[in-house]
Amino acid sequence: MSTSRPLRILHVLRAPVGGLFRHVVDLARAQVERGHMIGIVADATTGGAEAETTLKQLAAISKLGLLRVPMGRNLGLSDIVALRLVSARALESKADVLHGHGAKGGAYARLAGSTALRVYTPHGGSMHYNPSSPVGFLYINLERLLARRTDLLLFESEYALATYRAKIGIPKALARVVHNGVSPEELAPVIADADARDVVFVGELRKLKGVDLLIDAMAQLISEKRAQSAILFGDGPDSAACRAEVEKRGLSAQIKFGGSVHAREAFKRGRVLVVPSRAESLPYIVLEAAAASVPMVVTRVGGVPEIFGPDAAELVEPNAFGALADAIHDALKTRPTARTERLQRRVAQSFTVAAMTDGILAAYADALASRPLADG
């Protein structure tokens, strides 16, 4: 198939939230700007007000349409209905590319009855599971089966590709690493408010993101009078547990919860951003903070060292709240450093939406050139 004409690209994802959704939105908009036609298929039961607004904006530029269908987080009978609807939309839209994002989106895109190029970006997904657990065993083996119906694998980090190789196997399909990126307007520095708290967290309130470790670290710092306050922005499955833990420790005055706000607004509310994750692929929050010249304390997980490059030695080992507390204390004592400036330049040069879009479109072209026009 020639790529000299505009491609018809259908993006399939489950929940329109978090970094995965941000990635799809940025990519879809940039592909439209390059003259391609896009469509979106997403879950109808998740998202929230901000996601609804963004999806309406996407619908206005989606020549292949916006389709919302119920998609369960876990395997279930609803998957049969969702797959049929995805297949129908792929055929109706005459998609050249079916690009699935995350475990569910990737499964639907690859199982759909279509001759389109089948593309999969895991975004963590099944890769986070331990293969020795019952759930992990199931999902990892499903990924191995789906690998046979994959034409192109796209990974946001070298770490994600290495994880896929270790857990799933050496890809038979074309595999490329294309880093996530930020937009030009995100490169403007963000200055903390005069009344900003010592520490700010922005993300899902869930164990995977290490929020419990941050609460432990802050409790230690406050008791030792090495820090005074923190604010946690976001929501998630462990939100109630996090709030209860803060209240149980008697730290409700020192550790506040700010709800869901835009990342750049949240950055203003703290002197140091802390990203205490136990697992990541290539987190947008780190890219966004680096672009905005925000001082950070980040754990050494996933593709984070790829963002930090030569400064990766300063990353904190995960699952160690004592080391996290020490790193926070050190960051609070030190005003923005040369490392912050170097990191901002590195992101501006190498982690941009333009570079991400170029890399993905080039991968589409190579994959299309290497396969027959009609393929199951």
- CA 341 to each of CA 265, 311, 326: distance values in angstroms, whole numbers, following the listed order: 20, 11, 22
Does 175 share its domain with 254?
Answer: no
> What is the DSSP code string of 14-46?
S---HHHHHHHHHHHHHHHHTT-EEEEEEESS-
Does 207 share its domain with 120?
Answer: no
Does 23 share its domain with 169?
Answer: yes
What pLDDT, on the 0 to 100 scale, is given for residue 3?
A: 52
What pLDDT, on the 0 to 100 scale, is given for residue 372?
A: 64
Does 213 share its domain with 177?
Answer: no
Structural tokens at position 58: 């996407």
Mean pLDDT estimate for the chain: 94
Does 170 share its domain with 259?
Answer: no
**How does pLDDT run across 348-358, given as a tens digit for each residue?**
999 999 999 99
Please give the Cα distance from 203 to 206 (Å, whole number): 9
- 63 contacts: CB under 8 Å, gap ≥ 6: 37, 38, 39
CATH for 87: 3.40.50.2000
374: in domain = no
- 132 contacts: CB under 8 Å, gap ≥ 6: none
Neighbours of 265 (CB within 10 A): 12
107: in domain = yes
Indicate the number of domains in the chain. Answer: 2
**How does pLDDT run across 94-135, given as a tens digit for each residue?**
999 999 999 999 999 999 988 999 999 998 767 767 777 887
Whether the Cβ atoms of residue 291 and residue 344 lie closer than 8 Å to each other: yes
Does 17 share its domain with 164?
Answer: yes
**How does pLDDT run across 48-96, given as a tens digit for each residue?**
888 999 999 999 999 999 999 999 888 888 899 999 999 999 999 999 9
Does 134 share its domain with 152?
Answer: yes
Whether the Cβ atoms of residue 13 and residue 20 lie closer than 8 Å to each other: yes
Neighbours of 373 (CB within 10 A): 7
Q: Which of 299, 201, 193, 332 shows the shortest CA–CA distance to 259?
A: 201
- The end-to-end CA distance of the chain, in Å, is 15
Whether the Cβ atoms of residue 100 and residue 93 lie closer than 8 Å to each other: no
Instruction: Name 321's bridge partners.
Output: none
375: in domain = no
Whether the Cβ atoms of residue 278 and residue 301 lie closer than 8 Å to each other: yes
What pLDDT, on the 0 to 100 scale, is given for residue 1?
A: 41
Query: Which residue type, as a one-letter code, is found at position 37?
Result: M
What pLDDT, on the 0 to 100 scale, is given for residue 348?
A: 97
Domain range for 16 is 8-181+352-369
Q: Which of 28, 13, 20 shows the shortest CA–CA distance to 353?
A: 28
Does 144 share its domain with 213?
Answer: no
Does 246 share its domain with 332?
Answer: yes
3: in domain = no
Q: Which of 109, 129, 327, 145 shows the shortest CA–CA distance to 218?
A: 327
- CA 111 to each of CA 83, 223, 294: distance values in angstroms, whole numbers, following the listed order: 7, 54, 42
Does 159 share its domain with 16?
Answer: yes
Whether the Cβ atoms of residue 100 and residue 109 lie closer than 8 Å to each other: yes
Whether the Cβ atoms of residue 264 and residue 190 lie closer than 8 Å to each other: yes
| pTM for the structure as a whole | 0.90
Burial class (CB in 10 A: 0-12, 13-18, 19+), 253: exposed
pLDDT tens digits, the chain, 376 residues: what are they? 445 689 999 999 999 988 999 999 999 999 999 999 999 999 999 988 889 999 999 999 999 999 999 998 888 888 999 999 999 999 999 999 999 999 999 999 999 988 999 999 998 767 767 777 887 888 899 999 999 999 999 999 999 999 999 999 999 999 999 999 999 999 999 999 999 999 999 999 999 999 999 999 999 999 999 999 999 999 989 999 999 999 999 999 999 999 999 999 999 999 999 999 999 989 999 999 999 999 999 999 999 999 999 999 999 999 999 999 999 999 999 877 888 999 999 999 999 999 999 999 999 999 999 976 544 4
SS3 (DSSP) at 205: coil
> What is the DSSP code string of 129-193?
S-TTSHHHHHHHHHHHHHGGG-SEEEESSHHHHHHHHHHT-S-SSEEEE----B-GGGGS--PPP
